Structure 1
Amino acid sequence: MTGFGLLSFLGTLAMVVATDVNSSNTECHSPFTEVAGRCLHIEVATTGSWHNMRKLCQDLGGDLVNLSDLQFYGDLILYIKSLHLPNVHLWIGATDEATEGIWMWTDGTPVRMGTPYWANYKDNVQMPAGGENQNCAMLDINMHYYFNDYGCSSPDISPICEKYHEKL
């Protein structure tokens, strides 16, 4: 299957999977918005390093978003596209700073590698290939919001924050 064919297939799959991004009874308080049962805040007015944007999310009572659930990832992409945002990359809560090549979400769970998450960039492997210089993950606007590894200190990326609910 060609790269374009794969993108078309995955785009169609995302449309089928993400039928209603605001269908739950989750209550989110400002600045968070309910998306597929989770409370999110996309802060496009503020950009900064991965660590600074993670701190911003934590100050709001959450963290950078975890996209380990494929259904939610598809719903999020549809939501982002519905906002008609300016051309922005978006930090997510994945990094391999602790151990090069071992990608983890901020909650300590492993990040799934390859299709359907990672962008098909340069060498067509759909895997992070930035080595020690690119240890933080973002949704890459130039790659249709697939994951891409990037330098954590890049100051020009906005965060997607997720508010976590208290466990009863």
Structure 2
Amino acid sequence: MYEVLSGNSWHVTRDICQKAGGDLIVPSGPEQYARIIGYFKEYLPGGAWWVGIYDNVWLTGRAGVTAEWNAGQPDGGEEHCGSMLSDSTMGDYPCSTPLRAICQIRR
């Protein structure tokens, strides 16, 4: 994993991740999602971090599931881009919101 500490829009951050040889982080399933949650709880400061989900669809094409989202999320409207929140659930925000991010680098 690679942390993008500067706050950028979802699209700019995704471009940064891709230039580094990866993409925004996407869990491959429930086990990896649990590991990502553990990482957020142990290593990352509070706030929200961009992850690889857009309009409730992970970049891999898998739909988001209710258990991954904070209550009332995703709530749509102008909020298309997903982020992991400090409580280890997800919320959606306008994609132009400047947030930090987690990149998943391919090896």
The amino acid that maps onto 1:95 is Y
Question: Greater strand share, 1 or 2?
Answer: 2
Matched, 1:77 2:41: no
> What secondary structure is seen at the aligned counterpart in 1 of 2:7?
coil
Instruction: Mark the runs of 5 or more structure 2 residues left unpaired by the alignment.
Output: none
Deviations 1:54-103 (A, max 9, x none): 011011100001124111111112122222x332311011102xxxxxx3
Matched, 1:112 2:64: yes
TM-score normalised over the length of structure 2: 0.88
> What secondary structure is seen at the aligned counterpart in 1 of 2:102?
strand
Percent identity, aligned pairs only, is: 31
Between structure 1 and structure 2, the one with the greater Rg is 1
The amino acid that maps onto 1:146 is T
Shift in Å, 1:164: 2.0
Asked if 1 retains the 8 angstrom alpha-carbon contact of 2:79 and 2:95, the reply is yes
Q: CA RMSD of the aligned region, Å?
A: 1.5
> What secondary structure is seen at the aligned counterpart in 2 of 1:43?
strand
Q: How is 1:29-68 mapped onto 2 (pairs within 5 angstroms)?
A: 40-44=1-5, 46-68=6-28
What count of residue pairs does the alignment treat as equivalent?
107
TM-score normalised over the length of structure 1: 0.59
Q: 2:91 aligns with which of 145, 148, 152?
A: 148
Deviations 1:120-167 (A, max 9, x none): 13xxxxx41132x000000122xx121111100001x111100124xx
Asked if 2 retains the 8 angstrom alpha-carbon contact of 1:68 and 1:112, the reply is no
> Higher relative CO (CA 8 A, sep ≥ 6), structure 1 or 2?
2
The amino acid that maps onto 1:77 is I
Q: Distance in 2 between matches of 1:147 and 1:68?
A: 16
